[in-house]
Amino acid sequence: MPWESRRNGRRFYYKACRIDGQPRHIYLGHGPAGRIHAALDRQQNRVKEAKRAEREAHTHEIAEDERLLKAILRRLRTLTASFMHLSGYYRHHGEWRRIMAEPRTRQHNGRTIVSGIPDDLYARLDAINARANAGEPEALRELHALIEMHPDYYARAGDLTRLATINWLNRLRKVDRIVATAAEVNLQAWREDLAGPDPTPIESVLADGAVSARLAVMRAELDASTADTPPAVAALNTRRLATASRSLNSTLRLLHQVQRTRAPYAAPRPPDIPVAHAG
């Protein structure tokens, strides 16, 4: 304990610390002097606790951001894979190839065996995509029928990206309202530039995902550029920026692949998606 009592009833204030790696107790006084040092230490401890709580909240926020970015990217990859399979392509060691009459190098090793029907729509799509990539004709028919029957695949992905867009705009406002306002004004222009004229549903969803990821990058860049940041927090900010940048680049690659393909197949067009505005 900081305060130590003697037999005569007097109390003395000590402070625990380390000197040359060894624990020590430093005497700081008794009476009024001891009480002043105790008050200063309490104030210092409150500052340390506030900084630790702020760092923990920052860590939690970054972890939530990473989970959101990964969830969006997973859905976009699943929808892109379905589009590519239905457009007559298969994936071989990371490269999309057009299916020939008798493909010589069809990749069979990536097939996923799923027992029963997964409840999650995207898990179900993933399972059928794996079968389609392994060359099962029946899987392509299932895939086409499933997307035609459940256009909410696109709606669900669009809902998640819109929520993420609102999230990043709110985060931007807390740091720099001017940057946030400029980003909000340009949202529709960014989306139209990425999606192109008369976009298909998958192109619209991917463009929304890219816009959302771009906002995440802008938010991360503001944190990463903050001066006089403690090393631990600076490392977290660097990780956040790297994660957001990877998500943006991956989404842009998916969009580029789809736009290069532009096969005759097109899934049902979802309802028009308004630009998200944070309230």
The model's pLDDT over 111-141, given as tens digits with 9 standing for 90+, comes to 333 333 334 778 888 888 998 888 888 888 8
Least confident range of 15-19, 200-204, 239-243? 15-19
Beta strands in the chain (DSSP E): 3-5, 11-19, 22-30, 89-92, 95-98
In this predicted structure, the answer to whether residue 264 has a pLDDT above a threshold of 70 is no
Residue 163, domain member (yes or no): no
Residue 41, domain member (yes or no): no
Percentage of the residues of the chain whose pLDDT score is greater than 90: 23
Residue 19, domain member (yes or no): no
pLDDT at position 93: 83
DSSP three-state, residue 57: helix
The model's pLDDT over 178-201, given as tens digits with 9 standing for 90+, comes to 999 999 999 999 999 999 888 988
In this predicted structure, the answer to whether residue 205 has a pLDDT above a threshold of 70 is yes
Q: Phi then psi for 266, rounded to 5 degrees?
A: -145, 125
Q: Are 275 and 191 contacting, i.e. CB atoms less than 8 angstroms apart?
A: yes
Full residue range of the structural domain in which residue 119 is found: 87-148
Mean pLDDT of 267-278: 39
Rounded Cα–Cα distance for residues 162 and 50 (Å): 33
Residue 211, domain member (yes or no): no
DSSP three-state, residue 97: strand
> Rounded to the nearest 10 degrees, how much is the dihedral formed by the CA atoms of 95, 98, 101, 103?
-10
In this predicted structure, the answer to whether residue 103 has a pLDDT above a threshold of 70 is no
Least confident range of 98-102, 222-226, 237-241, 248-252? 98-102
User: Positive or negative CA dihedral for 16, 19, 24, 29?
Assistant: negative
Residue 14, domain member (yes or no): no
pLDDT band at 101 (very low <50, low <70, confident <90, very high): low
- Considering only residues 198 and 155, tell me which one the structure prediction assigns the higher pLDDT: 198
- Considering only residues 80 and 12, tell me which one the structure prediction assigns the higher pLDDT: 80
Among 12-16, 120-124, 198-202, 245-249, which range has the highest average pLDDT? 245-249
Question: How high does pLDDT run on average in the chain?
Answer: 80
Which two three-digit tokens encode residue 277? 């505005």
Q: Determine the residue type at 212.
A: S
> Which among 194, 114, 202 is positioned nearest to 153, based on CA atoms?
202
Can you spell out the DSSP letters for 129-191? HHHHHTT-HHHHHHHHHHHHH-THHHHHHHHHHHHHHHHHHHHHHHH-HHHHHHHHHHHHHHH
- Considering only residues 217 and 112, tell me which one the structure prediction assigns the higher pLDDT: 217
> In the 8-state DSSP scheme, what is residue 214?
H
Residue 198, domain member (yes or no): no
Residue 189, domain member (yes or no): no
Q: Determine the residue type at 151.
A: P
Q: Are 85 and 140 contacting, i.e. CB atoms less than 8 angstroms apart?
A: yes
The tally of domains found in the chain comes to 1
CA distances from 145 to 131, 140, 212, 269 (A): 15, 9, 30, 15
Whole-prediction pTM: 0.73
Residue 143, domain member (yes or no): yes
Q: Are 215 and 169 contacting, i.e. CB atoms less than 8 angstroms apart?
A: yes
- Considering only residues 38 and 248, tell me which one the structure prediction assigns the higher pLDDT: 248
